């Protein structure tokens, strides 16, 4: 089965052709990131307009490079949510238009499911139908899921305030670094001491032990930066140490909670997806911790960490077409249906 995957939930216009849920025959990703950098975050209206401007050209390039015609495509899969309303609408409307023009079925794919599928998509990984724990970790989401395969979710815990990627963006801004904050924090942390500053992440009194609350650590960074800035410009050494300490605190919090979830559920498999898993320190610590705990870890290659059409097209091969009309879910919360 050959699936055209379409991803437009945020600022990346991602298109891909995926055969049998695994083999990527071609992929195109265009981003409007540079247009958002001066604002320090994604501006939904700009991102939506960029999708409109980029989509047709990217699709033409994809088909030409892959040597595929519309007749060779079996179905179209598109991200239906969660995400930014205008951005999702562009992708869904484009998919529906192509479906009508090409006489192909169109299916909606959950954005979180697609990110987690990216982890088990490469050859040699465990099956997406096996019981596992899932960690969705990105700019808009931080959630731990008990999974009986990708189609059967149960939420174990999620962020109460900032998602991990969002916290990285905000701390990077406090330190005078660029956007997006994840890569900037990682680069700054390379020359820093992760033990220079100690941060405590609050325990959640209500809810589950797998919920996250990162606003406190962000506030602690704010006050420490404000104190340091009274003496003038932040030194490079201070920025490096703060970035390394912040990154270390977040990574240890995430690793500790997700490994505890694996232990509680008795699931020896962990799939991690989302843009934040591109962070090298997080990948290293998860690999180390899973090895010590006897948990089989599936993480996507760097090319499948951020939003992309391949993960949508891959998962699209397994999704059963819905009987109801395709709609979008313009929501940054965790939705499992």
Strand ranges for the chain from DSSP E? 2-7, 12-19, 23-31, 75-81, 106-110, 131-137, 142-148, 153-158, 269-273, 296-298
Mean pLDDT of 22-51: 92
Long-range contacts of 97-102 (CB under 8 A, 24+ apart): 98/4, 98/70, 101/70, 102/70, 102/71, 102/73, 102/76
Per residue in 240-292, pLDDT tens?
999 999 999 999 999 999 999 999 999 999 999 999 999 999 999 999 999 99
d(CA 303, CA 114): 14
Q: What average pLDDT does range 171-195 have in this prediction?
A: 96
Q: Pinpoint the residues of the chain covered by CATH 3.30.420.40.
A: 2-116+305-327, 128-299
pLDDT for position 140:
85
Asked if the model's pLDDT at residue 207 lies above 80, the reply is: no
What is the fold of 128-299?
A: Nucleotidyltransferase; domain 5 (3.30.420)
Model-level pTM? 0.92
Mean pLDDT of the chain: 93
- Pick 324 or 221 by higher pLDDT: 221
In the chain, % of residues over pLDDT 90: 81
Structure confidence at residue 337 as a pLDDT band (50, 70, 90): low
Digit-coded pLDDT (tens) for 77-133: 999 999 999 999 999 999 999 999 999 999 999 999 999 999 999 988 999 889 999
DSSP state, 302?
G
Q: Given a cut of 90, is residue 60 above it in pLDDT?
A: yes
Q: What integer pLDDT is reported at residue 330 of this predicted model?
A: 59
The whole-number pLDDT of residue 39 equals 87
Q: Helices 44-66 and 85-102 sit at what angle, rounded to 10 degrees?
A: 30
* Residue whose pair of structure tokens reads 């939705």 in the numeric block: 335
Q: What CATH class has 2-116+305-327?
A: alpha beta
């Amino acid at each position: 089965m050959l699936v055209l995957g379409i991803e437009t939930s945020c600022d990346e216009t991602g298109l891909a052709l995926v055969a049998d849920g695994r083999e990527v025959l071609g992929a195109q990703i265009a981003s409007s990131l540079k247009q958002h950098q001066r604002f320090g975050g994604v501006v939904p209206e700009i991102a939506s307009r960029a999708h409109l401007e980029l989509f047709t050209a990217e699709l033409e390039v994809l088909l030409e490079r892959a040597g595929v015609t519309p007749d060779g495509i079996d179905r179209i899969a598109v991200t239906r949510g969660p995400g930014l309303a205008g951005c999702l609408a562009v992708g869904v409307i484009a998919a529906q238009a192509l479906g009508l023009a090409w006489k192909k079925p169109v299916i909606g794919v959950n954005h979180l499911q697609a990110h987690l599928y990216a982890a088990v998509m490469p050859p040699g990984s465990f099956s997406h139908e096996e019981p596992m724990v899932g960690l969705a970790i990105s700019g808009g989401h931080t959630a731990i899921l008990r999974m009986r395969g990708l189609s059967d979710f149960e939420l174990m815990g999620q962020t109460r305030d900032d998602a991990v990627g969002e916290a990285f963006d905000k701390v990077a801004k406090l330190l005078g670094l660029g956007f997006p904050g994840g890569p900037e924090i990682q680069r700054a942390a390379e020359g820093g001491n992760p033990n220079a500053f100690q941060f405590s992440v609050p325990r959640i009194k209500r809810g589950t032990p797998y919920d996250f609350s990162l606003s406190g650590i962000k506030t602690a960074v704010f006050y420490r930066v404000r104190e340091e800035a009274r003496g003038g410009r932040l030194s490079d050494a201070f920025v490096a140490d703060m970035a390394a300490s912040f990154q270390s605190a977040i990574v240890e919090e995430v690793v500790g909670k997700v490994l505890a979830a694996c232990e509680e559920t008795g699931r020896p498999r962990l799939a991690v997806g989302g843009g934040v898993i591109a962070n090298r320190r997080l990948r290293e610590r998860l690999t180390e911790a899973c090895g010590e705990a006897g948990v089989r870890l599936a993480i996507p290659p760097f090319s499948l960490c951020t939003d992309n059409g391949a993960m949508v097209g891959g998962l699209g091969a397994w999704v059963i077409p819905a009987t109801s009309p395709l709609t979008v879910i313009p929501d940054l919360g965790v939705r499992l249906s």
